[in-house]
Amino acid sequence: MSLAIFDLDNTLLRGDSDHAWGEFLVEQGVVDRERFTTENDRYYAAYLAGTLDIYEFLEQHQLRPLAEHDRAMLNRWRDEFMRTRIGALITPAARALVDRHRARGDTLLIITATNSFITTPIAAAFDIPNLIATEPEEIDGRFTGKVAGIPSYREGKVTRLTDWLHDRHDTLEGSWFYSDSHNDLPLLNMVTHPVAVNPDDQLAEYARIRGWAVMELA
């Protein structure tokens, strides 16, 4: 039995859940369309380029709407988001990949920079019991708009996973990690079986040089 780790956005999902959440909030009239769409696209471009300031992005953009509304309303929006947006991003090929590892008895884990409020029900939709995501700070049942702990982004994924493994008295021996992004190279270089899934250009070239497996999840 090994650890099978999956990135979420543009890997298990045919799209980016955080970017889609922003578009959903715009459609619901929750945030200003022009300002939020411009920022959403700008930050997403920075992520793709590997230049994203994760703390600025989280506290000035991704987590701000969570702090501006009560939890009951946020939960209703999230339920609608799951029903209308996320279902279409989950492909049979992605489910089949997860199920192959499940059938082998591997431990299944999603690790993602997107916050846990958005990603917890997505992990549940895949029936993946373990999730490492960026944690939004919450006090007395209300989000503050700040980050709790280390965001699970780039080297932060390594730190968060290392802590998770330590708590479980586990190792990365025989492990797999599936990702689409060059931002995940720090973790891809640590596992036994790195797999580039729908890779961006930088990751595709790196995988070619290193002889890593490359796959497409349509």
Q: Which residues are catalytic?
A: 7, 9
Strand segments (E) across the chain? 3-6, 107-115, 130-139, 142-148, 176-179, 193-197, 213-215
Alpha carbon distance 42, 27 (integer Å): 18
Q: Which residues contact 23 (CB under 8 A, 6 or more apart)?
A: 37, 40, 85
Which region, left, alpha or beta, applies to residue 15 given φ > 0 means left and ψ of -120 to 50 means alpha? left
What six digits make up the tokens of 60? 């000035």
Point out which residues pair with 109 in neighbouring strands: 5, 130
